[in-house]
């Protein structure tokens, strides 16, 4: 079965469009599912300015469907996942605004520390800080992703399992620092 968003039988007139190369001005033709194109005039790789693979944040077939994506799109995908997780946590903590605000403060600090220290698995640390006060956090996370690596990494942090790698140790250190700093 082909993804309906990628199946050109369902495309309209906006699915194919032209955009100028930001480096040389040459006109490039994009299909809505192109992640990038190489400019024939200057050779630079140009990201599709209208691409939207929001489905990749939750679809279990995203990697097979989309293949490898440029780092800029992967960053957008991660932000979308963080937003979806934040919404799911908000729904679970409905009626408990103080816990949700605490989760938000923890997540901000976690992101700041991960960027500053340039170590650990940022996605796992952010997810664990968001999920810290939730009931059945791994089940909640499992509704948003089928990525076993992120599920295992978050579970390791939340259950305080012994880290097996340097990255897991760095993630555990950052997570503990956040929880100990932002605690009621």
Average pLDDT, the chain: 80
CA distance 53 to 66: 9
pLDDT bucket at 116, cuts 50 / 70 / 90: confident
Task: Name the residue with higher pLDDT: 134 or 66.
Answer: 134
Please state the φ and ψ torsions of residue 8, each to the nearest 5 degrees: -70, -5
The answer to whether the beta carbons of residues 55 and 80 sit under 8 Å apart is: no
Whether the per-residue pLDDT at 40 is higher than 90: the answer is yes
Measured CA to CA, the distance from residue 153 to residue 121 in angstroms comes to 8
More confident residue, 169 or 183: 169
What's the rounded Cα separation, in Å, for the pair 126 and 78? 11
Tokens 């340039």 sit at which residue?
118
* Chain position carrying tokens 């007139």: 13
**pTM of the predicted model as reported, rounded to 2 decimal places:** 0.59
pLDDT at 1: 45
Q: How far is it, in rounded angstroms, from Cα 28 to Cα 129?
A: 43
The number of angstroms, rounded, from the C-alpha of 74 to the middle of its chain's C-alpha atoms is: 7
Looking at residue 149, what is its pLDDT? 82
Average pLDDT over residues 137-162: 83
């Amino acid at each position: 079965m082909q993804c309906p968003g990628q199946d050109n039988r369902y495309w309209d007139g906006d699915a194919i469009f032209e955009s100028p190369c930001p480096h040389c001005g040459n006109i490039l033709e994009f299909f809505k599912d192109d992640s990038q194109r190489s400019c024939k005039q200057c050779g630079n790789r140009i990201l599709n300015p209208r691409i939207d693979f929001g489905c990749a944040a939750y679809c279990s077939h995203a990697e097979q469907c989309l293949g490898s994506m440029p780092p800029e799109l992967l960053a957008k995908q991660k932000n979308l996942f963080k937003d979806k997780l934040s919404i799911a946590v908000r729904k679970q903590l409905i009626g408990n605004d103080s816990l949700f605000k605490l989760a938000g403060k923890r997540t901000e600090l976690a992101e700041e520390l991960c960027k500053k220290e340039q170590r650990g698995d940022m996605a796992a640390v952010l997810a664990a800080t968001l999920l810290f006060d939730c009931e059945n956090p791994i089940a909640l996370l499992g509704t948003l992703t089928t990525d076993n690596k992120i599920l295992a990494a978050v579970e390791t942090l939340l259950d305080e399992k012994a880290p097996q790698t340097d990255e897991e140790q760095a993630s555990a250190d950052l997570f503990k620092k956040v929880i100990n700093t932002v605690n009621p």
